[in-house]
A and B are shown apart, each in its own frame.
Chain A
Amino acid sequence: EVQLVQSETEVKKPGESLKISCKGSGYTFTNYWIAWVRQMPGKGLEWMGSIYPSDSDTRYSPSFQGQVTISGDKSLSTAYLQWRGLKTSDTAMYYCARRYYDSGSFAYDMWGQGTMVTVSS
């Protein structure tokens, strides 16, 4: 079964560091881009950035460049999203999603279950 499994809920204090994960299984992890998507409480989806696990080519939305770090470990079939100084405004659900190509277009066909991150003093 093709799936993305994300790490569990996190509760952190402002200024702390955090790294959440997204593990792929059931397919060749290195053949597909993985994107990270933020959803703040009651709000819409925001594309944060993506990584190609085969060569770690990474792209960031200008809104998130410098705010987070996306990385991957192809030997573990895992992508990561990292913060070095959390803010209360980072409180959100974070999803990873696999990008695939079919019939001339790209789409995110597989999503992780989401990792809820709460930042509060």
Chain B
Amino acid sequence: SSELTQDPAVSVALGQTVRITCQGDSLRNYFASWYQQKPGQAPVLVNHGQNNRPSGIPVRFSGSRSGNTASLTITGAQAEDEADYYCNSRDSSGNHLGVFGGGTKLTVL
């Protein structure tokens, strides 16, 4: 079982705002990173830490954290944002291991 919990599926109307969440005890101490994966492709980093976006990632992807919950917010969702989204962080063991959330399938209506 994953130490990071995500909702399996979320939907959003085109152009609207959606928040994808990730819950876990380790998030109280460590930041999350977020990955977008489209069918048949490798994951792509879209946000990490205190809202850091890699070069080339649209500004509509923003990240935040509150308590044991990290969030990825897409402001003005586009059709091309339909994908699976995974959070990642360190696990809670203190052994510097990684862990992924179970993933959230985002549907843009």
Stretch at the interface among A8-16, A71-79, A109-117: A109-117
Which range contains the number of B residues in contact with the other chain?
Answer: 20 to 34
> A86 an interface residue at 8 Å Cβ cutoff?
no
Contact A61 B100 (CB under 8 A): no
> B86 an interface residue at 8 Å Cβ cutoff?
yes
Tell me, rounded to whole Å, the shortest Cβ–Cβ distance linking A22 to chain B. 12
- In the complex, A16 Cα to B50 Cα: how many Å? 45
Name the interface residues of B56-109: CB closer than 8 Å to any CB of A: 84, 86, 88, 90-91, 95-103
User: Given A47-B99, A59-B96, is A105 in contact with B42 using a C-beta cutoff of 8 Å?
Assistant: no
Contact B43 A111 (CB under 8 A): yes
User: Given A35-B98, A44-B103, A45-B86, is A111 in contact with B49 using a C-beta cutoff of 8 Å?
Assistant: no
A-B contacts, CB under 8 A, total:
75
Tell me, rounded to whole Å, the shortest Cβ–Cβ distance linking A106 to chain B. 7
Contact A45 B31 (CB under 8 A): no
User: Given A45-B35, A102-B52, is A109 in contact with B42 using a C-beta cutoff of 8 Å?
Assistant: no
> B23 an interface residue at 8 Å Cβ cutoff?
no
- In the complex, A76 Cα to B34 Cα: how many Å? 30
User: Which residues of B are found within 8 Å of A89, using beta-carbon distances?
Assistant: none
- In the complex, A102 Cα to B31 Cα: how many Å? 11
User: Given A45-B86, A106-B33, is A112 in contact with B42 using a C-beta cutoff of 8 Å?
Assistant: yes
**Which residue of A is nearest B65, CB measured?**
A105
User: Which residues of A are found within 8 Å of B30, using beta-carbon distances?
Assistant: 105
**B: which residues have CB within 8 A of A?**
2, 30-31, 33, 35, 37, 42-45, 48-50, 52, 54, 84, 86, 88, 90-91, 95-103
* Sampled A-B contacts (25; CB under 8 Å): A44-B2, A44-B84, A44-B86, A44-B100, A44-B101, A44-B103, A45-B86, A45-B103, A47-B97, A47-B100, A50-B98, A59-B95, A61-B99, A95-B42, A104-B31, A104-B50, A105-B30, A105-B31, A106-B31, A107-B33, A107-B49, A107-B52, A111-B42, A112-B42, A113-B42
**A: which residues have CB within 8 A of B?**
35, 37, 44-47, 49-50, 59-61, 95, 97, 102-109, 111-114
